[in-house]
Structure 1
Amino acid sequence: MRWTLKPKPNPEIVKQLQQSLNVDEAIATLLVQRGIETFEDAKHFFRPSLEHLHDPYLMKDMDKAVIRILQAIKDGENILVYGDYDVDGTTSVALMSSYLKTKTANVATYIPDRYDEGYGVSYKGIDFADDNDFSLIVALDCGIKALDKIDYAKEKGIDFIICDHHRPGNQVPNAVAVLDPKQEDCTYPYKELCGCGVGFKLIQAIANKFDETLNDLIPYLDLVATAIGADIVPITGENRVLAYFGLQVINAQPRAGFKAIINQIKKDELTITDVVFIIAPRINAAGRMKHGQYAVDLLTENNLQTAIQYAEEIEAFNTDRREADQSITQEALELIKSENEENRLTTVVYQEHWHKGVIGIVASRLIETYYRPTLVFTKSGDKLAASARSVSGFDVYNALQGCAEHIEQFGGHKYAAGLTLKEENYEAFKQAFEDEVSKTIDKNLLTPEIKVDLAINLNQIDDKLMRIIRQFAPFGPGNMTPIFMTDNLKDTGYGKCVGEDKTHLRFTATQSGKQFVCIGFNLGEKLHLIKNKQLFSAVYSVDENHWQGNVSLQLKIRDIKG
C-alpha cells in the first residue's frame, strides 16, 4: 500500500474556520480538505436542506421535457418509462413510473433484457413501444449515445425524452429533450448526478407545474439515495442533500420493497454503506441473474406481503449471483496464472461460458488480487461482451477510446465501462489495451493507495471528535470517511489473529498513556510488525464498537508499517 498524506490546506483558512465554528484544528482541517471554508459552507454541510437543491429548469432542455410530458398527460397518450437493468436504471424507472402514475394511468415500464438486448436503448424496446401504441418514451440512465435508435423511433412516430448522466459522444440524439448535465452546453451547476438524480430533477420540474413542493417528493428520495450509493457518484453538493434525505426515508418510512429487504437483514439503522453493500446488490441481482423488471416490480409494489414475496425471489437471485461470481473469479485467477500474465499492466480474460450478469463484479474482484485496469469478457450472441473496471486515478474510458478501432461499441465513465467486440478482434484488442495502458498510466497507480487526511496522536481522539465526524455522513466519493495516521504506536502485548481462518488482526494500540482497541480486517499477516512491543505506524478510521449495549471507540486499521 502507498500511504499518501493529503497536502495541508491553507493554515489561515483553517484557523478562521476553527474560530468561527469553535472546533479543534483537526476538524477544521478535515472540513477545508472537503472544500468547506466558511461558516456558511459548514452550515450547508452539517445541516443539509432541500432548499439547497438547484432549480431543475437550469438544466438544458428541461422546459422541453416538461412541456412534452404535460402534453402526453393531457392527451391521454401512452408513456413508456425505459431504463437500464442496473440499480441506477431500475430505481430511475421505479421513480419516474410511480410519479407519473399519480398524474395518468397510461404509464408502463420497460427494462431491456441483459442477455437478449444488452445495455441501453434497444430496437426491440422501440418495437415493443410501437406494437403497444406508446407515443412517448422517457429513457433513464441510458440513451445519450443511442443516435440511430432514437432516429428509428422517430420514423415510427415515437418521441424520446432522455435522462442520462453518462458522457455524450460528439453528437447527441435527435430527441424531444436530452437531459444530461455532462453536455458541454448544459450550464446546470451540478454535474455529478446519477441517472436517477436526473430523473428526480425532471419530476421536480413537473411537480412545479402541479403546485407540488419538494416536501411532496420526499417519499421518492429512498430510490435516489440508493442509486447515488450504488452508482458511486460523488456524495457532494446536490447528491449529498439527496442522499441525506433519502437515507432518512429508508430508515423512517421505507417503501414496501425496501422494508421487505430490510426485514431480511435485521439491521436497525442503515448507512449509505449498508445501502451499497446490502440493498443495492439485491436490486442488481434481478437484472444480473434473471430480469431487471423484477427489481422494478419490487420497488413499485405498495402491498408489503407481495413485496416480501418479490424480495424472497430476489434474495434467491442474489445467492445464485454470489455463487457465480465466486466460481468465475476463481477460474479467472487460475487463467491469469496458467497464461503467465501476472506481470502485465492490465488484466484481460475471457471464457465463453462465464455469466454475463456477474462479469463486472468479477472484474472488481480481480483488481483485489492484481491491482490494474481489468476487463472480463464473455460470449454474448455472436459477439464478445466485457465489463471494464479501473484502479484509482486511471481513466479506463479514455484507454478504451484509444483502442476504438477494435471495438464495436462501448460506453461508461472513468472507472467502469462496458464494451462489445467481434471474437476475431479479441487478441488484437487485448494487445492494444495493454499497449494503450502502458503508454498512458503512471506506474505509481498500480500500487493501491490509501489517502490519509491527517496525521494525529491518539490523545486527539475522543467522543467529541467522533460525534462531529459522524455528522460528516453520508460518506462516499468526494466525502470519504476520514482516514488518520499515527506513528510511534505500541501493542500492549496481547495482539493476535482472529476470525474463523485467523485472517484478521486484533490488538490494543497505546501511545503516551492513551490506548484504543484496534481491528484490522485481512491484516493477519502483519502480526509480526506489532510483536514484542516494537514501534509501528498505522492508518485507520475511528469507529464505534457496539457490544452488549455498550458503545466504545475503536480504530479500524487499514494498514500497518513497521
Structure 2
Amino acid sequence: MFGDCDFDGVVSGIELYKLLLNFTDNVELKYVERSSGHGSQHIIEEIPDDTALYIAVDSSSNDVEEMKYLASRGIECLIIDHHAVAVENPYAILVNPQQEGCKYPNKNSCGGLLVYKVCQVIDDYMNTNYSEKYKDLPGFALLADMMSMREPENRYYVYYSLNNLNHVGLKKLFLAMNSDIQNLTSTDFVYGVSPAVTAATRMDNIRLAIDFLMCSEDSFELDDYVNQLVKVNEYRKQVQTEALKRLKPTVNHNDKVVVVVDPTIGKGLNGLVAQELSKSFNRPAIVLGNGEYDTYAGSFRGLEDFSMLNLLNSCESVIYAAGHDGAGGLQAQKKNLSSLVNELNEKLKDFEADDTLYYDLSFHIDEINERLINQLNEFYRVSGSGFKPGKFLVTGLFVEDKKLMGKLSNTVKIFCDKIHLMKFKTDVEYYDNIPVFSEIEAIGTLNINEWKVYKPRFKKVKTNQLYIDDYKIIN
C-alpha cells in the first residue's frame, strides 16, 4: 500500500492498513519523502514480485503507465483518490468521485474520507465493525486538505472528529498546542495540530508523522513523538518567517501573480511560503526552486475567485501543474520564467482581487463577554474552505499598551481595557505603527485565552482576545 506524503495521505494509508491487519499480516505500508515527489512512479521499483494487490491512496489517479507496468507483472491495482482525473486508466480499479460518470454526490471529499468509506464497505462484507475505531480521523483529513466545509457530509465528519476525538496522539498534541480538548474547533486543528504533523512530512521526516499517527496507546514513546513534532513545527515557523522576510522586498507589485525563486526554502515549505505571500499581497503566489535539468519546480497558492490550477495548465510556459484549484505544484523551464509571468499578467489583466475586509457582525467592546464568545465559537466550530470562521468588527477600543512577543518577534499583543488584541506573523514595523493611547476599531476573530496559575494558589485565568486582521484609528 502506498500513500501520498501529506496529512491526508498518511491518514488514508493508516486507516486502511490498520483495518487490513485485522484480517491478515501480509500487508505493507510504504511512503516516500516529499522531496522525492508525488505519485506511484517513486515507489514502483520497490514493489515485490509476489505482490497480489497494489493499493494507492490519496494519489495516482493519473498514473496510467505505472499501473500498466504493475498489471504486466500480474499485480492487481486499486486506487482510492480524490484528485482530478485527467486520463482514463484501464489498468486499475479507481475509487474517485472526480471520474466521469461517478454518482457519489460528495465531489469535495478527501483521501482520508474515501478510504474510510472503503473500510466501511469491507466491514459490511466481512460482518465486522473495525472501521468505527478510526471514525475520528476523516474529519481532520478533510480540514488538513482544505476541502469544502459547505459540503454536508464533510461538515458531519469534521463535527464528529472535533466532538469525539479518540486518537490518543492527537489528544496529546492538541494539549501541547494549548487547545481545550472539550471544546475543539476547526481552527484549533488547522492552525495548531495540522501544521505540526505536516511539518514533519515537509521536512522529509515522514516516518515521524507515520509513527505518531500509528500510535493507539499512551506511552513514553508517544510523548517523544509529540515533543519532536512541536520542535519540528517551531523550526518550520522559523524557516518560513525568514523566507518571507527575505522574499517580500523582491516582489514586483505590478505583477498579477507573485512569482519568486528561492532554491534554499526546499520543496516541503514552498507551498507554505506561497500561502503567506498570497495573503500578504492579496494575489495568487508561486514559489519556485530548482527542478530536474533546466527547470524550476515549486508550489502555487491561489484565491477563491478562480481556479489557479486551471489557469496554470492553460499557460504554454508551464510544463505541468497538479493538485487542487487553489493549491498545488508546478514545473516550468527556467528560460521561460519571464514568459510565464507575462502570460499570467495577460490572462489576468482584467482581474482585480478584492482587498476589502468583510465582517459578519459588529460589537461595541462593552457587549463582548465570555458567554458571547462561546456562543459565536460554537456556531463557527466547523469552519474552513467555503465557510470561514466568523469575522467581527469591534468598536470602542482604547489602546493602553503594546508588546512584541514570540521567539521570532513576529507576534504583537495590544492591551485594551477588556480585551487583548493579537496579531500573528507580523513584524517590528507593524508593532511600531500601533498608536498607544488612541481609540481604534478592529476586525478579527474572537477567542478566549485560558491558562493555569499555580502560585500563590491554583486558579484558571481567562482573557478575552481578538485575533485581528487589521485596525483603524478613530479620530
Question: Which of the five TM-score ranges fits, normalised by the shorter chain?
Answer: 0.7 to 0.9
Kindly provide the amino acid, as one letter, of the partner of residue 272 in structure 2: I
Q: Figure out how many residues of one structure are paired with residues of the other and give that number.
A: 451
Residue 376 of structure 2 corresponds to residue 469 of structure 1: yes
TM-score (norm 1): 0.72
2:414 alignment partner, SS class: strand
Partner of 2:133 in structure 1? Answer: 219
2:302 and 2:248 map into 1 onto residues whose CA distance is: 17
Partner of 2:456 in structure 1? Answer: none
Q: How does 1:95-174 map to 2 (within 5 A)?
A: 95-116=15-36, 118-122=37-41, 124-129=42-47, 131-169=48-86, 171-174=87-90
Check conservation: 1:359, 1:376, Cα contact below 8 A.
yes
Q: Are residues 305 and 132 of structure 1, via their aligned partners in 2, closer, same or farther at CA, if it must alter by over 3 Å?
A: farther
Residue 353 of structure 2 corresponds to residue 444 of structure 1: yes
Listed as ranges, the gaps of 5+ residues in structure 2 are: 452-458
Residue 261 of structure 2 corresponds to residue 261 of structure 1: no
Partner of 2:421 in structure 1? Answer: 519
1:338-366 per-residue CA deviation (whole Å, 9 max, x = no partner) reads xxx23222111113343111111111122
Partner of 1:479 in structure 2? Answer: 387
Check conservation: 2:302, 2:326, Cα contact below 8 A.
yes
Listed as ranges, the gaps of 5+ residues in structure 1 are: 1-80, 509-515
Partner of 1:490 in structure 2? Answer: 396
1:182 alignment partner, SS class: coil
Residue 309 of structure 2 corresponds to residue 397 of structure 1: yes
Check conservation: 2:422, 2:467, Cα contact below 8 A.
yes
1:485 and 1:320 map into 2 onto residues whose CA distance is: 34
Residue 102 of structure 2 corresponds to residue 186 of structure 1: yes
Q: Percent identity?
A: 24
Q: Are residues 537 and 331 of structure 1, via their aligned partners in 2, closer, same or farther at CA, if it must alter by over 3 Å?
A: closer
Kindly provide the amino acid, as one letter, of the partner of residue 328 in structure 1: A
1:394 alignment partner, SS class: coil
Higher relative contact order (CA 8 A, sep 6+): 1
Q: Are residues 267 and 456 of structure 1, via their aligned partners in 2, closer, same or farther at CA, if it must alter by over 3 Å?
A: closer
Partner of 1:307 in structure 2? Answer: 222
Kindly provide the amino acid, as one letter, of the partner of residue 307 in structure 1: L
Partner of 1:65 in structure 2? Answer: none
2:176 and 2:465 map into 1 onto residues whose CA distance is: 28
1:193 and 1:330 map into 2 onto residues whose CA distance is: 35
Q: Are residues 544 and 309 of structure 1, via their aligned partners in 2, closer, same or farther at CA, if it must alter by over 3 Å?
A: closer
Check conservation: 1:507, 1:519, Cα contact below 8 A.
yes
2:396 and 2:375 map into 1 onto residues whose CA distance is: 27
Check conservation: 1:164, 1:180, Cα contact below 8 A.
yes
Kindly provide the amino acid, as one letter, of the partner of residue 483 in structure 1: K
Check conservation: 2:146, 2:385, Cα contact below 8 A.
yes
Check conservation: 1:353, 1:379, Cα contact below 8 A.
no
Check conservation: 1:363, 1:387, Cα contact below 8 A.
yes
1:165 alignment partner, SS class: coil
2:436 and 2:310 map into 1 onto residues whose CA distance is: 40
Check conservation: 1:391, 1:415, Cα contact below 8 A.
yes
Q: Tell me how large the CA RMSD over aligned residues is.
A: 3.0
Check conservation: 2:313, 2:320, Cα contact below 8 A.
no
Check conservation: 2:196, 2:233, Cα contact below 8 A.
yes
1:437 and 1:226 map into 2 onto residues whose CA distance is: 34
1:21-63 per-residue CA deviation (whole Å, 9 max, x = no partner) reads xxxxxxxxxxxxxxxxxxxxxxxxxxxxxxxxxxxxxxxxxxx
Partner of 2:289 in structure 1? Answer: 378
Q: Are residues 394 and 450 of structure 1, via their aligned partners in 2, closer, same or farther at CA, if it must alter by over 3 Å?
A: farther
Q: Are residues 333 and 538 of structure 1, via their aligned partners in 2, closer, same or farther at CA, if it must alter by over 3 Å?
A: closer
Q: CA deviation at 1:295?
A: 1.7
Which one has the bigger helix percentage? 1
Q: CA deviation at 1:283?
A: 1.9
2:245 alignment partner, SS class: helix
Q: Are residues 279 and 453 of structure 1, via their aligned partners in 2, closer, same or farther at CA, if it must alter by over 3 Å?
A: same
Q: CA deviation at 1:110?
A: 1.5
Q: Are residues 327 and 205 of structure 1, via their aligned partners in 2, closer, same or farther at CA, if it must alter by over 3 Å?
A: same
Q: Are residues 175 and 306 of structure 1, via their aligned partners in 2, closer, same or farther at CA, if it must alter by over 3 Å?
A: farther
Residue 426 of structure 2 corresponds to residue 507 of structure 1: no
Partner of 2:243 in structure 1? Answer: 328
Check conservation: 2:259, 2:286, Cα contact below 8 A.
yes
1:471 alignment partner, SS class: helix
Check conservation: 1:181, 1:187, Cα contact below 8 A.
yes
Q: Are residues 308 and 485 of structure 1, via their aligned partners in 2, closer, same or farther at CA, if it must alter by over 3 Å?
A: closer
Residue 333 of structure 2 corresponds to residue 415 of structure 1: no
Q: CA deviation at 1:471?
A: 3.0
2:272 and 2:436 map into 1 onto residues whose CA distance is: 33
